[in-house]
């Protein structure tokens, strides 16, 4: 039989050829336990001969008003779901909760705005978890147009109708800086996550750049750092701020610039563990002892931080719990809520008192 004929085969064709009712054929594919074994075998044989593969599951699910799948959306490209340690940590929590609920997961990303809009509009899901790392407001707007439940992660928005799950990045910045100040450090440098909109390079930035940033995570963490440093009598205008793209290339470029002169910092405040681990590697390669010469504090609490050499001091956020709560918010379709989960300072071997 030709491909065209196979595609054209319908449930009614199978019923006619098998000499049974359409209801019986439907039961064979959807409720086989109610059909006698010999009838099931006969119907399956006829269906195979005609090229009929069974009812379209999408149509059945849509008729039921539920597809039992959750869309995970980001404006980043698809590899981001697998390359970024923070995202992987949240995805583990999402996967655990979805698996326990018997729900599927659909990853939604795009290389441009037009493709993103199409992907969100066409995704066969019951609701969305939005990774608002970049373009969060656009993700919210597009998802609202679908009129499906959604929850936003890492979104800075005062709209109380937007359900969000995240952490207090301002408080996290304070925790990191307080730890280093309590050890006696007075000379700091900061490696940030992306700050400037649509800017894919790295380089020195100013406090004005930070305050104008559309990225609340980067902005609030710097605010937390500087609030503590200012109270400790440190002139924050002298603290180098260097924007990175949270990758090895831009972290290395940042440190090359920061350590170029003869008065290097004794402490690095790094806005992600991923970047902090690259920083430790760079310092060790140049014979700069961590933490003897330079203390390093990261942010996130990724698994790799516990196994670095030295082990990384970090501000840990409950990534897996964020993922689990996001799934619960979608499946329960509860009223919009704003959840802020606690952070924890985990002190390990990458921080110590500065040398006398």
Q: How do residues 197-253 score in pLDDT, each as one tens digit?
A: 766 778 999 999 999 988 889 999 999 999 999 999 999 999 999 999 999 999 999
Enclosing H/E stretch for 191: strand 188-192
Distance CA 297, CA 270 (A): 6
Comparing CA positions, the residue from 237, 254, 238 lying closest to residue 246 is 254
Do 294 and 207 fall into the same domain?
Answer: yes
**In-domain check, residue 356:** no
For residue 4, name the pLDDT band (cuts at 50, 70, 90). Answer: very low
Do 186 and 299 fall into the same domain?
Answer: yes
Q: What is the pLDDT of residue 298?
A: 98
Per the structure, the complete domain to which residue 308 belongs is given by 169-317+342-346
158 pLDDT higher than 70: no
Residue 69, SS3?
Answer: strand
Strand order in the sheet with 188-192: 203-205, 241-243, 188-192, 267-270, 295-300, 313-316, 344-346
Do 239 and 274 fall into the same domain?
Answer: yes
Rounded average pLDDT over 146-168: 81
Write the pLDDT tens digit of every residue in 322-332. 999 999 988 88
The domain tally of the chain equals 3
| DSSP letter assigned to residue 355 | P
Do 94 and 198 fall into the same domain?
Answer: no
> Are 96 and 156 in contact, with CB atoms under 8 Å apart?
no
Comparing CA positions, the residue from 200, 270, 213, 212 lying closest to residue 240 is 270
Distance CA 334, CA 23 (A): 37
Residue appearing with tokens 């750049």: 209
Structure tokens at 273: 């563990």
Query: If you count them, how many residues does the chain have?
Result: 356
6 pLDDT higher than 50: no
**In-domain check, residue 322:** no
Please give the radius of gyration of the chain, using alpha carbons only, rounded to the nearest integer.
Answer: 27
Structure tokens at 167: 């952490």
The alpha carbon of residue 182 and the mean position of all alpha carbons in its chain are separated, in whole angstroms, by 32
Do 7 and 42 fall into the same domain?
Answer: yes
Q: Three-state secondary structure along 231-265?
A: HCCCCHHHCCEEECCCCHHHHHHHHHHHCCCCCCC
Q: What is the pLDDT of residue 1?
A: 43
Do 275 and 191 fall into the same domain?
Answer: yes
> Are 322 and 165 in contact, with CB atoms under 8 Å apart?
yes
Give the CA dihedral 151, 152, 158, 162, nearest 10 degrees: -20
Question: Rounded to 5 degrees, what are φ and ψ at 102?
Answer: 70, 25
Q: What is the pLDDT of residue 263?
A: 87
> Are 80 and 108 in contact, with CB atoms under 8 Å apart?
no
48's CB contacts (< 8 A; 6+ apart) are none
Comparing CA positions, the residue from 60, 64, 43 lying closest to residue 52 is 43
Do 187 and 74 fall into the same domain?
Answer: no
Do 185 and 288 fall into the same domain?
Answer: yes
Do 110 and 212 fall into the same domain?
Answer: no
Distance CA 214, CA 87 (A): 20
Q: What is the CATH number of the domain that holds 15?
A: 1.10.260
174 pLDDT higher than 80: yes
Write the pLDDT tens digit of every residue in 302-316. 999 999 999 999 999
pTM of the entire predicted model: 0.79
> Are 214 and 157 in contact, with CB atoms under 8 Å apart?
no
**In-domain check, residue 60:** no
**In-domain check, residue 352:** no
Comparing CA positions, the residue from 25, 22, 67 lying closest to residue 42 is 25
Q: What is the CATH number of the domain that holds 115?
A: 3.40.50.2300
Domain boundary among 114, 143, 166: 166
Q: Which residues pair with 346 in a beta bridge?
A: 314
Do 34 and 144 fall into the same domain?
Answer: no
């Amino acid at each position: 039989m030709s491909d065209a004929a196979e595609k054209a085969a319908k449930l009614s064709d199978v019923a006619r050829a098998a000499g049974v009712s359409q209801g019986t054929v439907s039961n064979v594919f959807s409720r086989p336990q109610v059909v006698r074994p010999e009838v099931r075998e006969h119907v399956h044989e006829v269906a195979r001969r005609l090229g009929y593969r069974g009812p379209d599951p999408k149509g059945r699910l849509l008729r039921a008003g539920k597809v039992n799948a959750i869309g995970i959306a980001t404006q980043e490209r698809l590899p981001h779901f697998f390359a970024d340690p923070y995202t992987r940590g949240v995805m583990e929590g999402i996967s655990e909760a979805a698996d326990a609920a018997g729900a599927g997961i659909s990853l939604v990303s795009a290389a441009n705005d037009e493709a993103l809009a199409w992907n969100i509009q066409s995704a066969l899901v019951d609701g969305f978890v939005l990774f608002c790392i970049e373009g969060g407001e656009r993700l919210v707007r597009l998802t609202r147009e679908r009129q499906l439940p959604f929850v936003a992660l890492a979104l800075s928005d005062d709209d109380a109708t937007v359900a969000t799950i995240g952490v207090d990045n301002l408080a996290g910045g304070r925790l990191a800086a307080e730890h280093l100040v309590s050890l006696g450090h007075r000379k700091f440098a900061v490696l940030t996550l992306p700050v400037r909109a649509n800017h894919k390079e790295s380089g020195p930035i100013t406090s004005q750049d930070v305050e104008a940033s559309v990225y609340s995570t980067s902005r609030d963490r710097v605010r937390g750092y500087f609030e503590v440093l200012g109270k400790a009598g440190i002139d924050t205008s002298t603290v180098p701020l260097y924007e990175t793209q949270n990758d090895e290339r831009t972290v290395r470029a940042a440190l090359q610039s920061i350590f170029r002169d003869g008065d290097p910092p004794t402490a690095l405040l790094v806005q992600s563990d991923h970047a902090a681990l690259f920083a430790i590697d760079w310092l060790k390669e140049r014979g700069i002892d961590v933490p003897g010469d330079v203390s390093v504090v990261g942010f996130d609490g990724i698994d790799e931080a516990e196994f670095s050499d030295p082990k990384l001091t970090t501000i840990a956020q409950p990534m897996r719990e964020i993922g689990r709560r996001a799934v619960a918010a979608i499946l329960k379709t509860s009223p919009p809520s704003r959840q802020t989960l606690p952070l924890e300072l985990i002190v390990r071997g990458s921080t110590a008192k500065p040398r006398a």
